[in-house]
Structure 1
Amino acid sequence: MNQDIFDYFANKEYFDDHDDWISEHLDKYFQSEEISVFHEFIAFDFKVHIYFIQPKKYSFNILLSSGMSSLKMNVPDEVENKKELEFSELMMLIPKDITFSEVYTGESKNDYLISMLKHSAKFPHFNETWMGIGHTICADENYGPYSNETNFVGGVLLPSVTFDEDFTKIKREGTIINLYTFFPLFKNEIKYKIKNGYSALFDLLIKSNMKETFDNNRNNLIPKKSFWNRLKL
């Protein structure tokens, strides 16, 4: 199985310079001592590293993937501005009190947040599809949570309300790498979005005055009773 995965990704066209673009882009906004990286040294598919940025000027820290954009996503021809959507990376704003071990193992406290981004960043390339604003992804097909530390089972890609396009669009040599916010969702929120669409979910986010910064204890956008009543409509 691992050999099949290795062979599949070995034949892909890689854009390795995008990793350098991301690094140079971050250097414009943050001090070197504020940036560290959880490197993926060995992978049978392709490597996704995670930046851990601890900016002094903000009340939050940032997790940002680097490696998703090393491969071109399979954006359908009918999608408007297709060329501008072929490369992307994912980020999460997280509270300052969330800490990590020095080395990512996937088993330490809060590692599920890093795993969440890595899993989502690899999804479009494993499935020969693409991800953009409004797209949702689940941890697994059975709506299981990412770990026993959280009840989130998936997430939706959102435009950042904290950073403007100067930060969220890396433009180099006629190419754009989009930085999307990954916003984790509960099971009934995912199902609501699938049934009612992205606009309906986005309206709930606005009405709830939901913050972009990750909150593992946030209120569910759709109380269960309300959700089941909606399904009966």
Structure 2
Amino acid sequence: MSNPFHEREFFDEHIDWISSHIDQHFPNAETTVFHEMFAPDFKVHVYFIKPANATYNILLTEGMSTLAMNVSDNIENKDDYKFAELMMLIPKDIEFDDVYTPESKNGYIITMLKETARFPHHYNTWIGEGHSIVSSAEMEPYSPETRFVGGVILPSVTFGEDVMCIRREGGVINIYSFFPVYEDEVRYKIDHGYQGFLQLLIDNDAKEILDNNRPSLVG
């Protein structure tokens, strides 16, 4: 059976945009890449960036933006939202095996990003700020190592637009913060909407850096 993604238009120049963007904003960081050697659809690589003077490290996808998302017609300036990548801040003490697999050390963290990056392209839709994603219809955790079942796409509170938006002649790539959530938090967001979820974050002084052991924000 042929791969339907082979018939899609790929924007491979975005790979160079992302690499240059990282070099510009994190010039002294130790950076490695978890390469995806084979993919049945399209490749999603993940940069592991270690800024020297920060209290966090960074995971950033590369590959989600090589395909355009199907942005809703009711979105103003919809072309500005066609391309996106995902970022997650993680504690300094989290490390990974040299080669990523879902079962590898802390692999569930990378899995959350990879699965979310693929979601809009597999379902011919789009994701942007305020959208929520779940691992499955049954809201199963991403792995036995975590209770996270999904994530909410948020603006970053750590970085400004200069870091979270790549602009080049002919295109825009938005970088969104991925905030992992538990099942009760997903249901709270569904019931109370994006603004209600933002207020929940504020009320709990929630941090942008991943904490796999944090208590539920719902209480």
Q: How high is the TM-score relative to the length of structure 1?
A: 0.92
- Higher fraction of helix: 1
- The question of 1:112 aligning with 2:108 is answered yes
State the alpha-carbon separation in 2 of the partners of residues 23 and 170 from structure 1: 11
C-alpha displacement at 1:192, in angstroms? 1.1
Q: Distance in 2 between matches of 1:37 and 1:122?
A: 18
The one-letter code sitting in structure 2 at the alignment partner of 1:18 is H
1:121 and 2:117 correspond:
yes
Q: Distance in 1 between matches of 2:64 and 2:100?
A: 18
Per-residue CA deviation, residues 16-38 of structure 1 (Å, 9 max, x unaligned), is: 00011000000012236611100
How big is the shift at 1:130? Answer: 0.2
1:43 matched to 2:49? The reply is no
Matched, 1:182 2:182: no
Mapped to 2, the partners of 1:163 and 1:33 lie a distance apart of: 16
Secondary structure of the residue that 1:143 maps to in structure 2? Answer: coil
1:81 match:
77
Deviations 1:140-199 (A, max 9, x none): 110000000000000000000000000000001131100000000000110111121110
- CA distance in structure 1 between the partners assigned to 2:29 and 2:190 by the alignment: 41
| Aligned residue type for 1:209 | D
Describe the shift of the 1:23–1:32 C-alpha distance in structure 2 as closer, same or farther (beyond 3 A): farther
The 1-side partners of 2:119 and 2:80 are apart by: 19
The one-letter code sitting in structure 1 at the alignment partner of 2:41 is D
Q: How many residues align?
A: 219
1:135 paired with 2:103, answer: no
Query: Aligned to 1:28, what secondary structure does the other structure show?
Result: helix
Instruction: Kindly indicate whether residue 212 of structure 2 is the aligned counterpart of residue 216 of structure 1.
Output: yes
CA distance, structure 2, for counterparts of residue 43 and residue 32 of structure 1: 31
Aligned CA-pair RMSD: 1.0
Give 1:78 shift.
1.1
Alpha-carbon distance in structure 1 between the residues aligned to 2:27 and 2:101: 26
Q: Distance in 2 between matches of 1:33 and 1:163?
A: 16
Note the residue ranges of structure 1 that are not aligned, 5 or more in a row: 224-233
- Counterpart in the other structure of 1:227: none
Q: Give the CA deviation at 1:220.
A: 0.6
Corresponding residue of 2:201? 205
1:195 corresponds to: 191
Paired position in structure 2 for 1:158: 154
The 2-side partners of 1:209 and 1:176 are apart by: 31
Report the secondary structure of 1:26's partner residue.
Answer: helix
Q: Greater Rg, structure 1 or structure 2? A: 1
- Cα distance between partner residues in 2 of 1:217 and 1:105: 22
CA distance in 2, matches of 1:32, 1:24: 13
- Normalised to the residue count of structure 2, the TM-score between the two structures is 0.98
Q: Report the Cα offset of residue 75 of structure 1.
A: 0.3
Query: Displaced runs of 4+ in structure 1, greater than 2 A?
Result: none
Unaligned runs of 5+ in 2: none
Q: Give yes or no for the alignment of 1:27 onto 2:23.
A: yes
